[in-house]
Amino acid sequence: MNPFLAHSAAFSAAFGMSLILTPLVRRMAVKYGCVAVPRQDRWAAKTTGLFGGVGIFISLMTSWLLSAWLLTPCQIYILPLLPVALGGTAMFLLGLADDISEINPQYKLIGQVVVASLLVIFGFQFSWFESKTANLVVSVFWIVGITNAFNLLDNMDGLSAGIAAISGFFLFVWLMMLPAGDFQGSPVPLILAAYIGSLLGFLFYNFNPASIFMGDAGSLFIGFMLAALTLMETPPEVQAVSQQLRGGLYALPFFNQLSVIAVPCLILFIPIIDTAFVSVMRKLFDRSVFQGGRDHSSHRMVAIGFSEKKAVMVLYLFAILSGLLALGVYPLKMGVSIAIITLYLLLVLLFWLYLAHVKVYEKPADNSRKQPGFLVPALMEAGYGRTFFSVLLDLMLIALAYYAAYLLRFGGDVGPDFQNFIRSLPILFACQIFCLYAAGVYQRLWRISRLGDLSVYVKGVTGGAVLAVLAIVLVYRFQGFSRAVFIIYWGVMLILLAFSRFFFRMLDDWVARENHNGKPALIYGAGVGGQMAVREIETNGELGLFVVGFIDDDPRKKGKKIQGYPVFGGKGCIEAIVNKHDIKEIIVSFKDNGEETKKDIKRLCLRTGIEVLVSRMQVLIRQ
């Protein structure tokens, strides 16, 4: 049979079996009391069955074996993967035992290490380093880490299964992109097709609102399988990378030094970043890494106003971006890969720092307990313009902008000019940080950044670039340096600096518009007063309101959007808007004749039979 047809058969069979088996095992879990009950440290809001992993396991293994028998010779599609299948079975049984009768986390970890070590003995390990010992240790750590990462990621409806399906899909596509000789006859795509199909069938019942959970049996199993398959399916070019790379940075035709590590890490980026984030935050707040809690990335997004579905979809989006990046970087040159990955990691750093600011931990009742160290305020208050964090971030931005300028100037190949980059970078660091400080960049609070701050950023970046050029002229007489590099650097650095400063403000505005917790409110008056009312409602959660839009009698504003909210029309359409959006409060924002306007709106509501609270916005400054 054609391999493509076999892959399609494996996917379809696994998907169909999972769709059928999942409701059956759900009924069994409820019957025998294997359920997740609501707890203070868990997200589940209702009692839910835990045997979802059973359906995933049976669907995957059965469809994989049946599809392999359709190929000739079937042994090459089964025998190489037997250690993975047996290891996955062991992880599944370990998780199932924990679902039925809770196992001590330490014993569970020991079991995972044993299974991972046995898999490595069978040759499933990375070849990242020249030292075989280092490769062995990293491989065991990878298997155990990814297995537990998916276990920790199983904290919200559809999250772990969805991320696993996305990761499996990009791993499958990555194999398809390999040279034909490396892909033909590989047993991994077949089991990956079954893996994706079984997860999507389960996700039909697990997506919000979930009627079944996969439990530890499912999360440990799917995490182990992905970790093992990324270890196994390493193309021959990569297996020999440590030897060939000594011949030069671009010795390999399809892989560069960075992609050897970056591709598997990017494909599994979300479970890695979420686990690392939770571990660091719990450590900083003196909490056990192994205890449950509502402090994961998804929980923090819900805490700032996202719905559960939207929080999960945001993490899906990051997983897709990471997968696309993994597919894009491996054929690229080293320098281009570094720049692209660094830019993406900058976006990730800013977003997760924003989530780190969300307060999810209660203060300890015992004030005598040791409080977190100085790293906590430095991290948690980073978004408020802490100078230490700002300088560290700007050093990263300077290096990235300067390196990007070299790449753009020399067509993606820095080559011999790399030495000029290295010896001038410290000079640029000193000049740029000094000028940013002198221009007043570090005296501004990030969360209240305004467009007017752009002039400050322009002064700081321009001064730094000019001062760096003068310093290089004095030190190196500018021999071998390109003027165009510094012009490009100026533009790239200005964009990166402005983006980093406005990022938190943009997120605040987006979150405020997406947050529909509270009573829907309509603002009458789309002028300056109305915009002030919007800002107050968005930033003051104690009001218990969210803005639906504006009413304004100026016909020129009808159909327009102000601060992201629509202007529906004049007061003649109030009745229709109130009924359509279930408006509970109308806020009059006029400064002049505000009290009279409020009375007019009240009379209009009484005349049309609308039951809605009418209030007036006032700005008071008292001494």
Give the separation between CA 319 and CA 272, rounded to whole angstroms. 11
Quote the CA–CA distance of 148 and 125 in Å, as a whole number.
18
Looking at residue 577, its amino acid is I
Q: How far is 189 from 9, CA to CA, in rounded Å?
A: 12
Give SS3 for 570: coil
Host H or E run for residue 551: strand 545-551
How many Å separate Cα 188 from the centre of its chain? Answer: 27
347-401 tens-digit pLDDT: 998 899 888 888 776 654 344 444 444 444 444 444 444 678 888 889 999 999 9
The Cα 373–Cα 355 span in angstroms is: 19
pLDDT at 92: 96
The torsion defined by the Cα of 132, 136, 142 and 145, in degrees rounded to 10, comes to -140
Look at residues 439, 495, 501 and name the one whose alpha carbon lies nearest to residue 467.
439
Please give the distance of CA 47 from its chain centroid, rounded to a whole number. Answer: 29
Identify the CA nearest to 488 among candidates 404, 380, 379, 568: 404
Crossing angle (nearest 10°) for helices 132-153 and 215-232: 150
Closest residue by Cα to residue 274 from 219, 327, 202: 219
How is 26-63 classified by DSSP, letter by letter? HHHHHHTT-EEPP-TTS---S-EE-THHHHHHHHHHHH
Structure tokens that stand for 238 in this block: 């990569």
Instruction: Please give the pLDDT value at position 518.
Output: 79
User: Which residue's structure tokens are 């640029």?
Assistant: 428
Cβ–Cβ < 8 Å for 578, 568: no
What is the C-alpha radius of gyration for the chain, rounded to an integer number of angstroms?
Answer: 29
Please tell me the predicted confidence (pLDDT) of residue 337.
80
Q: Give the Cα separation of 133 and 127 in Å (integer).
A: 10
Please tell me the predicted confidence (pLDDT) of residue 198: 96
Between CA 588 and CA 529 the distance in angstroms is 9
pLDDT attached to residue 164:
95
What are the tokens at 4? 């493509």
Q: Is 186 helix (H, G, I), strand (E, B) or coil?
A: coil
Claim: this prediction has a pTM higher than 0.95: no
CA distance 117 to 119: 5
Query: Residue 143: in which H helix or E strand, if any?
Result: helix 132-153
Separation of alpha carbons 308 and 199, rounded Å: 20
Residue 38 has a pLDDT of: 67
pLDDT for position 228? 93
What pLDDT score does 623 carry? 56
pLDDT value for 242:
37
The Cα–Cα gap between 435 and 457 comes to 10
Residue 545 β-bridge partners: 519
Parse the chain into domains and list their residue ranges: 3-356, 382-511, 516-616
Name the CATH topology of 516-616: Rossmann fold (3.40.50)
The SS3 of residue 566 is strand
Rounded CA gap, 563 and 419, in Å?
48
Which residue type is seen at 389?
Answer: F
In DSSP terms, 561 is beta-bridged to 566
Residue 253: how many other CB atoms lie within 10 Å = 9
pLDDT of residue 307: 84
What's the token pair of residue 398? 């300077």
- Alpha-carbon distance of 235 to 179, in angstroms, equals 9
Q: Which residues of the chain have pLDDT under 50?
A: 181-183, 235-257, 364-385
CB 37 within 8 A of CB 45: no
